[in-house]
Structure formats: structure tokens, C-alpha cells
Amino acid sequence: MSDEKVSKLEILKEGSRQLRGTIAEELTNGEENFSGDSAQLLKHHGTYQQDNRDMRGKKNEDGTSAGKEFSCMVRTRIPGGKVTSDQFLAELDLCDDVGNGTVRLTSRQGFQLHAVLKSDLKRTIQTINETKLTTFAACGDVERNVMCCPAPHNDNKVRQDMQDMADVIAEHLKPKTSSYFEIWLEDENGEKTNATEFQPVDEPIYGPRYLPRKFKTAIALPEDNCVDLMTQDLGFLAIVEDGEIVGYNVFVGGGQGMTPAKKTTYPTVAQKMTYVPTDQVLQVAEAIVKVQRDFGNRLDRKQARMKYLIADWGIEKFKAKVEEYFGGSLPEPHPADVTDVDDHMGWHDQGDGRWYLGINVENGRVKDEGDMRLKTGLREILKKYGMPTRLTPLQGIILCDIEDKDRADIDQIMVDHGIKAADDLSLTRRFSIACPALPTCGLSVTESERVLPQVIDDLEKVQAEHDLADERISVHMTGCPNGCCRPYTPDIGLVGKARGKYTLYLGGNAPGTRLAFLYKDMVPLEEIAATVSPILGYFKSERSNGESFGDFCARKGLDDLTAYTEAL
């Protein structure tokens, strides 16, 4: 163990025998919950221990405290969101079997099961692995799920090559520890995981303490930044010439989390650092990860994301260090930048004689509720047609490889189950996402997922009042400033600040190319639409040709918007 001053979590990771800790022992100790140390290590295995926030403070019949209602969130790591129908069906079965009857599609193209009891955790993870998916490294201080544009356009190789690249990066940056296999996948007769038998494996990229903090990577196209590339630690923007990817612009240092009380924390958008030909992507990715590993802040976790290292050093010094690790100089970036975004919803010609269908899933929650029976309808479609699927970064689903003759039947199944087609939804709803927040997230200060549908209803009304019903206005909402749903770059960002109150950000945009600015703090939930309404009116009367709402707000700026609304 080194003498460097580091946080407690660094000491825990380093002493954990490559992320084993006492997880295996605690799995069979009869307790309802894991210890704090194990809960931290569990994240690297794809699991967050949580407690039902709705139940906190509840009393038993005899007046005693009911205590915490513990359960686990189990996240699956799926590079590019590529899922077979069997894998999807297995996840739907699992949510009924061990979860809360819903599957959540995450904003990083993964699945989440909620409310899994500790006693069901091992078989849940085993079942996921039996479908050839994994929860390993879905969370924790490692490379998280590598995102990639999921659209299955097969008229050229571009999207397929990007998706292959996502797989290759994910595999290359995967931790090598065998702890996951030992803890979750070996049967009762398997090797025991006690300290005397521990044989470390080489972790050539991560070393004994893994990374100082989580690390996020995504791959996008300039005209389709559906993965929100500039919010990631590391982004690869494909440069296409004559229908082929020749290389990637490399963006570094994006990140969304912040703590308002700590002025040294802030969201950032990634900076364009260099260009790499396709055959050097892995070496450059590895060099960047290793620079963050060796120089990222390990004392203060609130300063540990790579964005702070880059802010501290400046992009030139950071690039020079990456060049040192890479072993050669890196060129200036290609001029290409992000220009637009697509949500891939509705019917699209795949370019190979077949079709794909994007289905919007409000807040990514696959469930049956009232007349909207998405879970049942999806089951029926997937069982009948067995098509491959994709999970989108806006928490939606793409059904792939559909024959033209089957489209009408699939449309009918959707109608029969109350599943809305993309054309029946406003663009604002299609481009809205929320984090789970209450009741499952231990960090949330207020609601997000459970209230966003109402917020969108209200925004749709005021958009219609201003004759802006068809306008694409992206809305990202979170239950706290940690920013899991990337709330600091869309047209409208809503960040939970206190119970029922939100910080309202304006001036980002749907393609996610810049940070929004703080327009108003502590806006009550029920006043969000009314607060935005006058600015929509201003936008309607003074927008320039084709200007988006976010671009308009950014052009006018905070002072002008404030002066305008105060003069009303």
C-alpha cells in the first residue's frame, strides 16, 4: 500500500483483493443488507444497495421504527445498448420474478432492475449472465458502459463499425479481476474467496486502486450526437469519408456532476483534443485512462473526475501527458464538430430492405400501468418476432430487422397495448429524460421520474399557447445536482435543489454542444411551465430563422431574458 494521502474509498479498493472485500461472505450471513464497505465495492459488480425512500421514517404497529427497507439496484452493462430479444425477455421476466415489476432503460443504454432483495442478488446476476449479458463494471470507479449511437442503419458500414468499436473499447477497458466470476458465477462447490487463497491477476490498465472515479465513454457521429458525447470523460466523434470511418476526433473532460455548496465543483462539456485514425483508438483510449489513473485526484472524490484534472492542467498539458503515455505525438483534431441529434423514434428504412422501429419509453420505465401496457406489448412483439433490439440514450427502444410485411401487425400490437407511436408524441416529450430519483436513489433530494410526465404535460400546454407545439425542446430532469441524466446541456435542464424545488437551466441545446446557464433557482415544481412560458413567448416573437429555443436563450443570455420577463 502506498504512502500517498488518499480517501478512505481508495484504501478500501486497494485492500479489497481486487474488488472482493467481504461481499461473498456477506451474501450468506443472513442480514438484510450489506455493510458499508461491501456496498461500495458492490458498485463495481453493477449493484447499488438502496433503501426505499418512501418508507423512511415509517413506524411499525407498535410505534417502533420500521427501519430501512433495503434492496439492490442491478445495472447491466451493454455496450451500445445491443440486446437480443431473448436477453430483453429475460430481463422482463427477472423484473417480475425478483424486482418491482418494471425494467428501467438507463440514459447510458443499460437495463436496471430495482427492488432486488439481497437474498435474490446472486441468482439475479447469474440469470443475467446466463443470457450473455453482464453487470460487471456497470458502475464503480472503472470504465462504465461504453455508449454508441444505436441506430441500425445498414446502408453502409458506418454505424456497424461504430458499434463494433464500442464493443472493442468496452472489452479492452474492462477490469481483469476474477472477483466477479468467483463471487457471482461459481456454484457452491466453487473456489472460496478467502484471503489465503487469493491470487491477484494483472490489472494492467487499472492497477490496485482502479480509477479515482467513474469514467464514461461514448461514440457519436457529427450529425447524430444521440449519446451526448460532450458530457462524457472521453468521446469519439466518427469522421466519415466516402462512406467509411477514417478516424475519430477525441473529446475529453466532459462531466455533469456538481455540488452547489462546493464552488470547486461544476459541470463541463468535453474539449476536442486530437484526431486518431481508427487503428489507434484503443491505444489513445488506454493512454487517457492511464493518465487519469495516475494523476486524477484520489484524496477528494468531489474533485476526482477527469474534468478537474484537465481544468487544473489545461488541455495542452493534459494532451502532452497523454502523448507521453501513448508514445508519440498526437495531431490537431479534424475540423468536424457535433451538429445535430436524432432520437431514432418511429419507423425507419434500415437500408437493407428491412425496417427498424423506435419506441419512446417515458423516462425509460418499461411497465404496465392503466391502459399503457408496454411491458406486455413488448413481450408479445419480442416473442412473436424475436428481433434484435437496441436501447437508446434517450431511454427508448429500437426494434431492428423488421420485414415490411410485419409492420402493420406490430403497429396493431402497439395500439392494442396503448403504446404510443412516435408521431403521436410531441418532440418535447420524445427528447425528455429523467433520472430515477425518489424512491430508489439514496442521493435524491426530490422527485424526478415520477413528476416529469406532468411537467411535460404542462410544457406542452404552454408551447401550444405560443403556437410552438411542434418545436423540439429537450428537457432533462434530475432529483439532485449529480446530474445522472445530463441536465446541464439540453434546452431546459431541471435539477432538484430541495423538496419540490428545482434549479432551472436554459440555453443548452438538444445536440448537447454547450452548457446551459442557471436561469432561476428554487422554482417550485408546479411553476416550472409558467416560469418558462414568457420566455417561450419571447422566443416566438424574436427567434431568428430556424433558431432553436436553446440557441435563442444562449444568444439572448441571462440578463436579457431576466430583463424581458421582469418588464412584463
Q: What is the DSSP letter of 422?
A: G
**Cα dihedral sign for 156, 161, 163, 164?**
positive
Strands 147-148, 217-220: parallel, antiparallel or unpaired by DSSP?
A: parallel
**What is the residue type of 521?**
D
- Contacting ligand SF4 (CB under 6 A), which of 178, 482, 489, 509? 482
Q: Which stretch binds ligand SF4 (CB under 6 A): 19-27, 79-87, 315-323, 433-441?
A: 433-441
Q: Does 478 bind ligand SF4 (CB under 6 A)?
A: yes
Helices 306-313 & 315-326 angle (0-180, nearest 10): 110
Q: Shortest approach of ligand SF4 to residue 195 CB, angstroms?
A: 33
51 binds ligand SF4 (CB under 6 A): no
**Is residue 441 within the footprint of ligand SF4 (CB under 6 A)?**
yes
Which residue from 170, 387, 480, 532 is in contact with ligand SF4, where contact means CB under 6 A?
A: 480
C-beta of residue 57 within 8 angstroms of C-beta of residue 64: no
Is the Cβ–Cβ distance between 122 and 414 less than 8 Å? no
SS3 state of residue 314: coil
216 flagged as catalytic? yes
CB nearer to ligand SF4: give 39 or 151.
Answer: 39
- Could you say whether residue 484 binds ligand SF4 (CB under 6 A)? yes
Positions in 254-283 near ligand SF4 (CB under 6 A): none
**Known catalytic membership, residue 144:** yes
CB of 402 to ligand SF4, least distance (A): 33
Q: Which of 480, 486, 497, 553 is catalytic?
A: 480
Give 292 or 444: the residue with its C-beta nearer to ligand SF4: 444
Write the DSSP assignment of 29-84 as a string of letters.
S--SS--HHHHHHHGGGTEEEEE-GGGTT-B-TTSSB----EEEEEEEB-GGGEE-
- To the query of whether residue 400 is one of the catalytic residues in this protein, the response is no
Half-sphere exposure at residue 354, Cβ-oriented, CA atoms within 13 angstroms: 13
Per annotation, catalytic residue among 148, 435, 485, 553: 435
Question: What is the pattern of x (binds ligand SF4, CB under 6 A) and - over residues 213-232?
Answer: --------------------
Residue closer to ligand SF4 by CB (options 107, 303) is 107
**Least distance to ligand SF4, CB of residue 227, Å:** 18
99 binds ligand SF4 (CB under 6 A): no
Amino acid at site 559: D
Nearest distance in Å: CB 451, ligand SF4: 12
By beta-carbon proximity to ligand SF4, the closer residue of 43 and 319 is 43
Q: Which three cell numbers stand for residue 565?
A: 420577463
Binding of ligand SF4 by 83 (CB under 6 A)? no
State the number of binding residues for ligand SF4 (CB under 6 A): 13
Contacts of 296 (CB under 8 A, 6+ apart): 211, 212, 213, 304, 305, 306, 308, 309
- Cβ–Cβ < 8 Å for 286, 303: no
Using CA atoms, how far residue 554 sits from 120, 256, 462, 532, 563, in Å, is 49, 19, 20, 14, 15
Residue among 235 and 257 whose Cβ is closer to ligand SF4: 257
Q: Residue 479 interacts with ligand SF4 (CB under 6 A)? A: yes
User: Is 375 annotated in the active site?
Assistant: no
CB of 138 to ligand SF4, least distance (A): 14
* Rounded alpha-carbon distances, angstroms, from residue 312 to 107, 119, 448: 29, 45, 33
By beta-carbon proximity to ligand SF4, the closer residue of 379 and 476 is 476
Residue 157 falls in the annotated catalytic set: no
| For ligand SF4, the closer CB: 479 or 490 | 479
Give the Cα separation of 448 and 316 in Å (integer). Answer: 38
Q: Identify whether 435 is a catalytic site residue.
A: yes
DSSP letters spanning 88-147: HHHHHHHHHHTSSS-EEE-TTS-EEEEEE-HHHHHHHHHHHHHTT-B-TTSSSSSB-PPE
Choice from 106, 363, 444, 513 touching ligand SF4 (CB under 6 A): 444
47 near ligand SF4, judged by CB under 6 A: no
Is the Cβ–Cβ distance between 207 and 290 less than 8 Å?
no
**Exposed/middle/buried for 279, CB within 10 Å: 0-12, 13-18, 19+?**
exposed
* Of the residues 359, 433, 437, 516, which one makes contact with ligand SF4 according to CB under 6 A: 437
According to DSSP, the residues that pair with 234 across neighbouring strands are 217, 252
Beta carbon of residue 435, minimum distance to ligand SF4 (angstroms, whole number): 3
The active-site residue out of 213, 214, 429, 486 is 214
Per the residue annotation, which of 148, 149, 226, 484 is the catalytic one? 484
Distance CA 236, CA 218 (A): 6
Stretch that binds ligand SF4, among 106-114, 123-131, 364-372, 430-438 (CB under 6 A): 430-438
Contact residues for ligand SF4, defined by CB under 6 A: 435-437, 441, 443-444, 448, 478-480, 482-484
Active site residues: 75, 144, 214, 216, 435, 441, 480, 484
